Every structure is written in structure tokens, then in C-alpha cells.
Amino acid sequence: MDLSRYPLAELAGRIGTPFFLYDGEILAERLAELAAFSEGPRLHARYAMKANSARKVLERVREAGFWIDAVSGNEVLRAGRAGFPMGNEPPVVMLTCDVFRDNGLATVVEQGVLPNVGSPGQIRNLADAGYRGPIAMRVNPGFGHGHVQACDTGGPSSKHGIWHEDIADAVKLARAAGFPIVGLHAHVGTGPQIAEFDANMRRLANVFGDLLPLFPDVTAVNFGGGLPHPYRPGAPHIDLQGYRRFLLEAASMLSEIAGKALRVEIEPGRYPVAGMGLLVARVTDVKATRTNEKGEGHEFIMVDAGFNDLIRPAMYGSYHEISIVGAGAAREPATFVVAGPLCESGDVFTRDDQELLVPRALGRPDPGDLLVLHDTGAYGAAQSSNYVSMSRAPQVFWEHGKATLIARRETLGDILRAECDQAL
Ligand SMILES: *Cc1c(COP(=O)(O)O)cnc(C)c1O
């Protein structure tokens, strides 16, 4: 990616580091691709907004015609603030959560958005809360895989959804509660292996086919997320046209079984947003460790971003492309570990999912150079935290040569806002 398109040094001077930059033109390209992908009455894409719930992003998603998969009551309400209609005709916003907490249940009852239940207890929760309306049901089809072991989205070790053999009982429970089940859903995960993703979607179509006779009220079948994003240089892109063909075939096959025209949905989260994001950090130092006998050790590039800003490498060993902006960019590459400011040895951006360091070839930076972590538009700011009372980083939206601050750097006041001392 050509970083010279962005005035990173100037922005860093104005708002400090670290910060996120989102390229609105890349977002627009991805959304246009998805619009072509889901064109027509049979296919519909829901944006899984947990990947990036910035209002500006949600507005662009809405303008592009997509619906929403939300996973908390507050996500539903944020979608509403970004202009998505509430209610379930049509079910523009669906709430998929494993557990109702905080305002989740109340939001479903008050806003009338479609709840997608993933456990029998949630059917009881809805009935007890006085909900009267349609539901969707999330099935664990007995297989599936996320992008790493810690991210298990289907199969016996996954917590998500209702086990496929228990679906008939859950349907009875829903019927007794008077809930028409209008949606059948599964999310088996976004593996980096496109072949595996392909095979999983085919198996899923068959599981849906087997289950459909239990669901006379169903109008939509949802294949979940997501679409893989190519994080590594040279990684293959998913063949969207091929996936579209597959889903249209699945729509016909499943409509035939159901005896009526069904809508097929997918829920891309990372796909539209991952590639638009840069996390821009400042190099503060370069230092080395050495062992005595062999002189082995590592050279560390120290930066001011940490896993409080981007947790994916620390949590999953996820790979993010890294660039140096400044004097180091032109130098002969050497191998470096890139590490952040937190008091945790795992605060390292260059490691694998076995927690081993994987030094990266980079031009030797000078302190003061910028270091950019690529593809951080998904699950970057969205999973950032106030760990060690660090302020969450600002977010900048870049479009047509203009930068707009869409979230400022947090202050101590923001962090302390909910603290109180109140007798109960
Ligand atoms: C997270 C999630 C998605 C999106 O996953 P991505 O890998 O970001 O595309 C879709 N559906 C559900 C139910 C999810 O929880």
C-alpha cells in the first residue's frame, strides 16, 4: 500500500501518536464490491458492526444498502443513531448474542429488532421479558473453524449457537412461546484458508437443507461471516463472484426445500473495513538483548502503540503488515521485534499464535520515525481498551484529500467518568 497518499507525519504532529487512520475511499471500494456481490433480491449482506462501529463507517454502510448484525444492545442503539431503522419489517438490524446482558433484552423488546437466539435459555429470557415477535435461531452445525484455535466458531468446542441435534427441542420451545422463527443462522468462522471456508459453506448449505423442514416460518437463511481479508502480502483474495454463484445456487436449493423463495444472507465484518485502517505509532527507541555465548538476542523497535490499541497480535498471534515512515524506510532491512509500552511481555506486535516472537524485516528506524501497522480497520479501535489507564487512540477518516477527526484521543476524564462512590 502506498503510504505517501497520506500526510501521516503532519497528522502525527497535529494529533499525536498513536492514531488510527481510515481511508474512506478504500471503504467505498470494498462496499461497492459487496454491493455487486449481493445484488438482486435473493442475497443480502449484513455488516457485522463489531468489527468497527464508528458512526462514519456505519453511515457509509447504510448508504451502501447493507443491513446490520449487532451483538449487544448498545450496538443496536448505535446502529439506530447512524440511521438504521429499528423494528423487524424488514429486519434491518438483527441482534446475535450468546447472552443477553445490560440493555440487550430490553432493546429487543423496545426497538423490536430481530433477536437471533443461540441458546434455549434465550428463548425463555425473551418470553419472560414479554417479547412478542419473530426470532431467528443460530445453529452450531457441528463443524467450523475460526481463523485460529482461540477463535472457535463452530463444532463441539464452540460456545456459539444451539447444537444441531438440539434444534428440534429449541423449535418446540419457541413454538410454545409463540415466536415464529423467521431466520435460520450459523456462523462457522472466517478462516484464512479459503479452501476450508469454501468447504465449510458447502457443508453448511446441506445442514440448513436438513433442518429447514423444522422451520415453516423461515424467510431467510444466514451463512454468517465473514469473508476472509488477505492480511499477508500475496495472500489470496476470496473469489467473490464464485461465492456469489454458490450462494445463489444455495438459495435455489434451499428455496426448493422450503417451498417458497428464501433470502440468503451473509455477515461480513472485517472484509469491508480491515484494509482501510492504519494504526500509526511513533518509534521511541531501538534496543537489543544479547545472550553471552552465542551473542544471540533480538533487536526491539519500541513504539508508543500497544495491545491496548490493537490486541489481535497479542490475543491471536495475528499478522499485520508493518511499514516504517521516515529515515528508516530507505535503509537495508534487518530483523526486529516490534514492541509497545505496556507492562506485559506479550505487548509485542510481531509474534505467532504459539506466542513465539517472529522478528520482522524492516528498515532500521530512527527514534521519531513513524511505524505503521496495516489492515487495522477491523478489530483495532473496536477491541481497544483503557488498560493501564491509557487513553484510547483518536480515529481519523481520510477522504478526497481531507482528514476528519471522528474520535478524539480520550482524556483522563473520559476514563474516570463512570467511577463513583455510592452507597447501595
Ligand atoms: C464476528 C461475527 C461476524 C463477522 O466476522 P468477520 O470475521 O469479522 O467477518 C459475523 N457474524 C457473527 C455472528 C459474528 O459474531
Please list every protein residue whose CB sits less than 6 Å from any atom of ligand 1.
48, 50-51, 69, 71, 96, 187, 190, 224-226, 267-271, 378
- Give residue 62 CA to ligand 1 midpoint distance, Å: 18
- Return the ligand 1 atom nearest residue 271 CA: 9
In this predicted structure, what is the pLDDT of residue 226?
Answer: 79
- Give residue 93 CA to ligand 1 midpoint distance, Å: 14
CA 371 to chain centre: 23
Name the residue at shortest CA distance from atom 10 of ligand 1: 225
In this predicted structure, what is the pLDDT of residue 259?
Answer: 97
Secondary structure (H, E, C), the chain = CCHHHCCHHHHHHHHCCCEEEEEHHHHHHHHHHHHHHCCCCCEEEEEEHHHCCCHHHHHHHHHCCCEEEECCHHHHHHHHHCCCCCCCCCCCEEEEECCCCCCHHHHHHHHCCEEEECCHHHHHHHHHCCCCCCEEEEEECCCCCCCCCCCCCCCCCCCCCEEHHHHHHHHHHHHHHCCCEEEEECCCCCCCCHHHHHHHHHHHHHHHHHHHHHCCCCCEEECCCCCCCCCCCCCCCCCHHHHHHHHHHHHHHHHHHHCCCCEEEECCCHHHHHHHEEEEEEEEEEEECCCCCCCCCCEEEEECCCCCCCCHHHHHCCCCCEEEECHHHHCCEEEEEEECCCCCCCCECCECCCCCECCEEEECCCCCCEEEEECCCCCCHHHCCCHHHCCCCCEEEEECCEEEEEECCCCHHHHHCCCCCCCC
Query: Which amino acid would we find at residue 179?
Result: F
- Give residue 398 CA to ligand 1 midpoint distance, Å: 25
In this predicted structure, what is the pLDDT of residue 337?
Answer: 97
Residue found by looking up cell 510481531 in the block: 350
Q: For residue 157, what are the contacts with CB-CB under 8 A and spacing of at least 6? A: none
pTM across the whole model: 0.95
Q: For residue 211, what are the contacts with CB-CB under 8 A and spacing of at least 6? A: 139, 164, 167, 184
Query: Which amino acid would we find at residue 174?
Result: A
- Give residue 104 CA to ligand 1 midpoint distance, Å: 18
- Return the ligand 1 atom nearest residue 274 CA: 8
Name the residue at shortest CA distance from atom 4 of ligand 1: 269
- Return the ligand 1 atom nearest residue 224 CA: 11
> CA–CA separation, 11 vs 90, rounded Å?
42
In this predicted structure, what is the pLDDT of residue 402?
Answer: 97
CA 241 to chain centre: 22
- Active-site residue identified among 97, 151, 343, 420: 343
Pair 373, 322: CB distance under 8 Å: yes
**144 C-beta neighbours (distance < 10 Å), count:** 23
Whole-angstrom CA distances from 417 to 43, 308, 404, 411 are 43, 19, 25, 10
Residue 97 annotated as catalytic: no
Pair 306, 380: CB distance under 8 Å: no
Q: How many CA atoms lie within 13 A of 346 on its CB side?
A: 15
Q: Is the peptide bond before 83 cis (omega within 30 degrees of 0)?
A: no
> CA–CA separation, 27 vs 36, rounded Å?
14
* Best probe residue, ligand 1, of 50, 53, 152, 201 (max atoms within 8 Å of C-beta): 50
- Return the ligand 1 atom nearest residue 190 CA: 7
- Give residue 279 CA to ligand 1 midpoint distance, Å: 22
> CA–CA separation, 226 vs 191, rounded Å?
9
- Return the ligand 1 atom nearest residue 147 CA: 7
> CA–CA separation, 274 vs 157, rounded Å?
27
- Give residue 300 CA to ligand 1 midpoint distance, Å: 34
Query: Which amino acid would we find at residue 138?
Result: R
- Give residue 292 CA to ligand 1 midpoint distance, Å: 47
Q: For each of the chain's 424 residues, which pLDDT tens digit applies?
A: 789 999 999 999 999 999 999 999 999 999 999 999 999 999 999 999 999 999 999 999 999 999 999 999 999 999 999 999 999 999 999 999 989 999 999 999 999 999 999 999 999 999 999 999 999 999 999 887 654 555 566 777 788 899 999 999 999 999 999 999 999 999 987 665 677 778 888 999 999 999 999 999 999 999 998 799 999 999 989 899 999 999 999 999 999 999 999 999 999 999 999 999 999 999 999 999 987 677 678 999 999 999 999 999 999 999 999 999 999 999 999 999 999 999 998 999 999 988 899 999 999 999 999 999 999 999 999 999 999 999 999 999 999 999 999 999 999 999 999 999 999 9
Pair 125, 95: CB distance under 8 Å: no
Name the residue at shortest CA distance from atom 3 of ligand 1: 225
- Give residue 269 CA to ligand 1 midpoint distance, Å: 5
